[in-house]
Amino acid sequence: MSTTVRPPAPSLRLTPRSWGMLFVLCGAIFLEGINVAMLNVALPAIRTDLGLSTGELQWVLSSYVLGYGGFMLVGGRAADLFGRRRMFLIWLTVFLVVSALGGIADEGWMLIAARFVAGVAAAVMTPAGLSIITTSFPEGPQRNQALLVYSGTASGGFSLGLVLGGLLAAVDWRLVLFAPAILALVILVLAIPLIPAGPVERSEERRVDVLGAVTITAAIMLLVLGVERAAHVGVGWTAAFIAGGLVLVALFVAIERRSAAPLLRLGILRSGPLVRANLAGLLFAGAFFGFQFIAVLYLQELRGWSSLQTSLALLAIGIDAILAPLLTPRLVNRYGNPKVIVAGLVLAVVSYVLFLPIGMDTVYLAMFPTMIILGVAFALAYGPLTIVATDGVEESEQGLAGGLLYTSFQFGAALGLAASTAVIVAVTADGGAADLLDGYRAALAVPVVAAILAAIVCAPGLRKGTQG
C-alpha cells in the first residue's frame, strides 16, 4: 500500500526583508493614489492663483490622464525588457522632479506640461512596481497576501488623498504638488537598498517593437482623449478621436502579428481569466470614478459642502485599506478569487443603488451605508482582480500584464467620468437645483449598470475554480 506524500503548503508568512520591499512598493502606489486625489480638490485654488480658464484647468487633469493611460502598456513592457527595478527607480526620480517643478510653476502651460510628464512617469513605475511583487513572491498565498496589501494601499491612498488635499489646499495649493515630491524622495531612498535587482533580458533578446509602441500609445491617447473630452467638445471631434484610436488599434494588431519581438504578444489575450479580469476592472473603475464624480458634485454644488467636508464624507470608503490585507486574504484562501470578486461587485451595485434616493436635504447618516459598503466592495474586488490578471502569466511578461490591467483601470475611469458627465448634461436643462438633482440621480445609472456588467463578466469564473 503506497502513501502519497504531498508537498507542504506554501507559507503565508513573509520575511522581514520581503515586508520591507513591499512597504516601499506600497508607498509608491500610495503616492500615485494621493497624487491624483489631492489635485482634484485643489483645482479651484489653482484656477484663482494662475488665472486659468475652464479649458486650461481641465487640461491640468487631462494631461496627467493622457500621459498615464497612453504610456501604461509601453511602460509595463519596458519594465520586462530593461529591468523592473531600474525602470521603477528611474521613473520614480522623474516623478519626483516634475512634481516639484509643478509646485513652482507660475504659468498654466508649465503646470500642464509637468502633469503630463508625471503621468508618463507613473505609467512606467506603476506596472514596474506591480511586476516586482508578482515576480518576487511565489504564486499562491504569499503573492496573494502581498497583492492584497498592495491594492488596499492603492485605494486607501485615493481616499486619504481627498482629505490630505483638502487640508493642504486650504494652506497653499502648491503643497499638493510638493508633498508627493517629498514622499517620492523618501521612497526612493528606501527603495535603493530594499528592492533587489531582478533579471534583465539579454541585449540580443532586447528588441524593442518601436512601431508597435508608437502605434498603441497614439491609439490609447486618442481613445482616452475622445472619451475624457466628450463632455467638452462637439460630437464630431469625439467621433474623430475615437475612430482614429480604433484605426490605430487595428493597425497595432496587424503590426504585432508580423513582429518578431512584439510589444504585446497577442497570445496572452487567449487567457479567459486575464481578459475577464481586465474587462471587469475597466467596468469597476468606470463605476467607482463615475460615482465619486457624481457624489462630489452633489455634495459641493448642490448641498454647498466645502472640499474638506466632502473629502471627510467619502473617507469611509477608505476602510478597504484595512480590510484588504486583513479580511480579503482569508476569504480568497477559503472561497477562491471568483466568488470574492463577484461578492464585491454585487456589494458595489447595492452601494450605488442605496444612493439613488438622495434629495435636497438628505442627511449624511443616510449616505453612510453607501460609503461603507462601497469600501467593503473595493476590498473584495480590487485586489483579487489584480491577482487573477497576473496569475499564470510568464515572469517575462508580468510587467506587460500589469500594464494591461492598469490601462483597463485608467480607460474605465475616463469612460465612467465621461458617461456620468454626459448624462448630467443631457438631463440638466437650466441648471436649477431641481434639474441638478434630477441629473445626478439619472447619472447614478452609470455606476449601477457598470457594476452589474462587471459582475456578469466575472460570473463564468464561478464555474472554473479559483482562477476566475
**DSSP state string for 276-310:** HHHHHHHHHHHHHHHHHHHHHHIIIIIT---HHHH
State residue 13's pLDDT score.
66
Residue of 295, 337, 328, 289 lying closest to 314 (CA atoms) = 295
Please report, for residues 150, 220, 280, the alpha-carbon distance to residue 238 in angstroms, rounded to integers and kept in the order given: 36, 14, 24
State residue 94's pLDDT score.
96
| Gyration radius of the chain's alpha carbons | 22
Please report, for residues 143, 342, 461, the alpha-carbon distance to residue 465 in angstroms, rounded to integers and kept in the order given: 18, 13, 7
Region class of 391: left (phi > 0), else alpha (psi between -120 and 50), else beta: beta
CA separation for the pair 275, 269 (Å, rounded): 6
DSSP conformation class of 264: S
State residue 6's pLDDT score.
43
Residue of 126, 136, 141 lying closest to 328 (CA atoms) = 141
Which residue type is seen at 168?
A: L
Which residue type is seen at 197?
A: A
Q: What are phi and psi of 305, to 5 degrees?
A: -75, 150
Q: CATH for 16-195, among 3.90.550.10, 3.40.50.1110, 3.30.360.10, 1.20.1250.20?
A: 1.20.1250.20
State residue 431's pLDDT score.
60
Domain extent listing, the chain: 16-195, 211-264, 267-463
DSSP conformation class of 51: T
State the 10-residue block means of pLDDT for the chain, 468 residues long: 43 74 92 82 82 75 82 88 93 96 92 93 92 88 86 79 80 91 95 81 60 87 79 80 92 88 84 93 92 87 83 85 86 91 96 94 94 94 91 86 88 84 78 78 95 94 61
Q: Do domains 16-195 and 267-463 have the same CATH topology?
A: yes
**CB neighbourhood size of 270 (10 A):** 9
State residue 203's pLDDT score.
46
Q: Which residue has the cell 526583508?
A: 17
State residue 8's pLDDT score.
43
- Please give the CATH number for the structural domain made up of 267-463: 1.20.1250.20
Cell of 287: 463605476
Angle of the 54-82 helix axis to the 16-50 helix axis, nearest 10: 160
Q: What is the pLDDT of residues 28-58, one digit of tens each?
A: 998 888 887 788 778 778 888 888 876 677 7
The residues near 67 (Cβ < 8 Å, ≥ 6 apart) are: 115, 116, 117, 118, 119, 120, 121, 122, 123
State residue 10's pLDDT score.
46
Q: What is the pLDDT of residues 342-393, one digit of tens each?
A: 999 999 999 999 999 999 999 999 999 999 999 999 999 999 999 999 888 8
Helix (H) or strand (E) run with residue 39 in it: helix 16-50
Residue of 323, 322, 317, 328 lying closest to 374 (CA atoms) = 317
Helices (H), 396-444: 398-427, 433-443
